[in-house]
Structure 1
Amino acid sequence: MRWLPVMYVAVVLLLEPVTPVDWPVSFLLVGLALVTAFGHGPVVVAAVTVFAVALEGVLAGTPCCAGRPVGYLWDRHYVADYVCTGLVGILGTILAAHRIRRERTLADVRSVAEIAQRVLLRPVPQRIDGLLLESLYLSAAAEARIGGDLYEAVRTRYGIRLLIGDVRGKGLLAVETAAALLGAFREAAHDEPALPALADRVETSMDRRAAQLGGGEVGERFVTAVFAEIPADASAVRVVNCGHPPPVLMRAGEVRELDRGRSAPPLNLGVLVGEPYHVDAYTLRSGDTLLLYTDGITETRDADGAFYPLLPRLRSWADLPPRELLTRLHRDLLVHSGDRLKDDIAAVVVRVPADGPRQGAAARSAG
């Protein structure tokens, strides 16, 4: 865009000498100021306006242009053109100043959003107790960096505890709910010895916050979530599912969902059922990869309305390192959706090293 004014003038100069005298191509210079306003500031636009008027005068007063026998410097049509160019230049200068202010405001908003994301959704540590971790977050909002999807990984005396969740709704309320949920989880993860007790404590915090907020949507402010726990020896993963897409286990070409059909209601809706949380335990082996994700991935559609085929895709990516796996997933989602994501997306990948978590940790410490 910054070179567009130069190309615009070049086209006018190429056409002016070869067009008939009744077709004054130099009149196209009226739009030069607006073209410049797309990529430059008000000072440059004002200077270009002066240049455009001067160039129009030069072209009008040159007899050789377009085979003119005489110049038309002060012809009434050309004088009107000078005036129009000046007026359009003033409008272009105002437009450029407005655009610069909007860009600065947008930059400030993005900066604040990035800071908020680092506080609310900081990347998970790449290594915890020998395990390899990576995270991914994509906001569907054009100018946003954070939304209602959330994730966290915490090292505790009970092992590594993971959380992935999706807040109902959008906007500031969803972000506030996600912040409250993450705060409750980060605190309770170190105190509650059992995974169901951790989920129950987080739900109690969510119920309390929903009641404090009041309003007519208290019962609808719910969060789907998965709580997962991997002990220090990484021999198993324990899962409490609260109405969320189940984690996916990738192992030597095998890709399957960790789902035994005992999902609890989403957080803040548990009072409607009153049943205790169920823990499902699954064996982990060296080289296994665990993916926790939000439904923004599986609900991504292509141009024909087909949902994203997550499990078939993962079968060909199971052996990739965690960071590369998420990068490949990110790119494939953009291709599948035509670069138009409709929902926020969050994902966390956990890999048990091939030599085991303890041996991997010891080797890195020795190095």
Structure 2
Amino acid sequence: MMALVAAVDLSAGPGVGYLPLLSLGPAFASLAGGVRRTAWVGLFAIALCAGLARHDEIIGTRAGDATFISVVGVTAAGMLAAAYRERNERELADVRTIAEVAQRVLLRPMPRRVGPVRAAVRYLSASARARIGGDLYEVVMTAQGVRVIVGDVQGKGLDAVETAAVVLGAFREAAYDEPGLPDVADRIERALARQLTSEQFVTGVLAELDPAGRLTLLNRGHPPPLLIRSGRAVQALDPPEPAPPLGLSGLVEEPAAPFSVGFAPGDRVLFYTDGVVEARNDRGVFYPLAERADLLVGADPETALDALQADLLRYAGKPLDDDAAMLMLTTEPSITA
């Protein structure tokens, strides 16, 4: 930029007044460089300004003085802006580090195998400053079998994260103690009663895979999981009757009832949050998850979810508007035989 200004000034001759444009050098340097780089660019601009001012014979004139003042002033302002930007970048890095630590505590790393089940998970946060939000998931091995929760807290921000921590804490205790999924849901409801206001809620689906090969589900207002049979048939596991989300059970007289399906060796089940199916492309069309289920067949669970995540982001073409979590469970013939 400064070389171009110098070339134009030399070709145009004195009296045209291009020299103040040299201040663009330190101005642009402050956008990407640090304080030191901005200072060096500013010093170069001042030296270049002095040489061109001598060539144009304007040293000591009002125009020459105004040019030097403008270059020095922009350099000082650029150094100050660079210092503020670097400080904000350090603070942002600290926020992201803290968020990642919180995520490892709240959403613990998923083991590749939980009892007889292989598990894989992917989490995409819509937050620009952190990698954690209100979606939640957990898989534990209990005496009754493998138990799962996948949920989505209403709202965003730190309040949603705090509520997600309450839900996961209650589930991690109740999953080992309670005999059935309705009892686990009741424990979570009691924990939420001390946390939520009357208008807040958490959608969630609880699941249990027992040693006999039955998958039992209790859906509380959450998108239905997808069951992918080993023969490539895809089935949405809709509950027989709709049920209110967790935190709103007082709206109905009868508690929600669980239901069961067979889960044969080689079958896969995908749990997900609404951030997946509510992702839109540039035409405003929702992501057709059921039509993309072939991405989940055949490949290793980790590879399958990588393919689904890449397809989702490619379909949306931009950062997601909502958090999105995907959890896939599968059993293998060699394990269940």
Do the two structures share a fold, i.e. TM-score over 0.5?
yes
Query: Could you tell me how far apart the structure 2 residues matched to 1:120 and 1:109 are?
Result: 16
Output the amino acid matched with 1:321.
Answer: D
Q: SS state of the match for residue 190, structure 1?
A: helix
Q: State the alpha-carbon separation in 2 of the partners of residues 333 and 320 from structure 1.
A: 17
Offset of residue 190 of structure 1: 0.7
Describe the SS at the equivalent of 2:26.
helix
Among candidates 130, 143, 154, match of residue 157 of structure 1: 143
Matched, 1:225 2:218: no
- Within the candidate set 92, 97, 116, 2:83 is matched to 97
Q: Contact conserved, 2:295 with 2:304, CA < 8 A, in 1?
A: no
Deviates more, 1:240-249 or 1:117-126: 117-126
Give the match's secondary structure for 2:208: strand
Is residue 2:100 matched to residue 1:114? yes
1:26: Cα distance to partner? Answer: 4.2
Equivalent-residue separation in structure 1 for 2:307 and 2:157 (angstroms): 28
What TM-score results when the alignment is normalised by the length of structure 1? 0.85
Q: What's the counterpart of residue 53 of structure 2? A: 60
C-alpha distance in structure 2 between counterparts of 1:100 and 1:305, whole Å: 38
**Number of aligned pairs?**
336
- Match of residue 257, structure 2, among 261, 278, 282: 278
| Alignment correspondent of 1:238 | 216
Counting only pairs closer than 5 Å after superposition, residues 164-179 of structure 1 correspond to structure 2 as 164-179=150-165
Other-structure match for 2:110? 124
Helix, strand or coil at the partner of 1:38:
helix
Partner of 1:42: 35
The answer to whether the 8 Å contact 1:164/1:225 transfers is yes
After TM superposition, give the deviation of residue 20 of structure 1 in Å: 4.8
Q: Give the SS at the match of 1:145.
A: coil
Cα 1:316–1:93 shift into 2, 3 Å? closer
Change in Cα spacing, 1:28 to 1:227, as seen in structure 2 (3 Å) is same
Aligned to 1:342: 321
Whole-angstrom CA distance in 2 between matches of 1:338 and 1:307: 12
Contact 2:267-2:330 at 8 Å conserved across structures: yes
Q: Which residue matches 2:184? A: 198
Contact 1:129 1:232 in 2 (8 A): no
| Partner of residue 318, structure 1 | 297
Query: Is the contact between residue 195 and residue 240 of structure 1 (CA under 8 Å) also seen in structure 2?
Result: yes
The counterpart of 2:195, out of the listed 209, 213, 216, is 209
TM-score by length of 2: 0.93
Q: What is the aligned partner in structure 1 of residue 169 from structure 2?
A: 183
Distance across 2 between alignment mates of 1:329 and 1:18 = 58
**3-state SS in 1 of match to 2:32:** coil
Distance 1:60 1:168, change over 3 A: same
Return the alpha-carbon distance in structure 2 between the equivalents of residues 344 and 83 of structure 1: 50
Distance change (3 Å), C-alpha of 1:80 and 1:272: same
1:30 aligns to 2:23 (yes or no) = yes
Which is worse superposed, 167-176 or 242-251?
167-176
Q: Give how far 1:14 is off.
A: 5.1
Once the 2 structures are TM-superposed, how far is the Cα of residue 16 of structure 1 from its aligned partner? 4.7
Give, in whole Å, the separation in 1 of the partners of 2:7 and 2:175: 71
SS at match of 1:151: strand
Report the residue type matching 2:49 in the other structure.
E
For residues 15 and 255 of structure 1, the distance between their equivalents in structure 2, rounded to whole angstroms, comes to 68
Q: Deviations over 1:209-268 (max 9, x none)?
A: 33xxxxxxx2212111000011245x1211011111111011222111112432321111
Q: CA deviation at 1:336?
A: 2.2
Partner of 2:309: 330
Partner of 2:278: 299
Query: Is the partner of 1:276 in helix, strand or coil?
Result: coil
Q: Which residue identity is paired with 2:327?
A: V
Q: How far apart are residue 78 of structure 1 and its match?
A: 2.8
CA RMSD, Structure 1 to Structure 2 (Å): 2.0
Q: Is the 8 A contact 1:236 1:283 kept in 2?
A: yes
Query: Could you tell me how far apart the structure 2 residues matched to 1:352 and 1:75 are?
Result: 84
- Paired residue secondary structure (2:44): helix
CA drift at 1:71? 4.5
Give the partner amino acid of 2:82: A
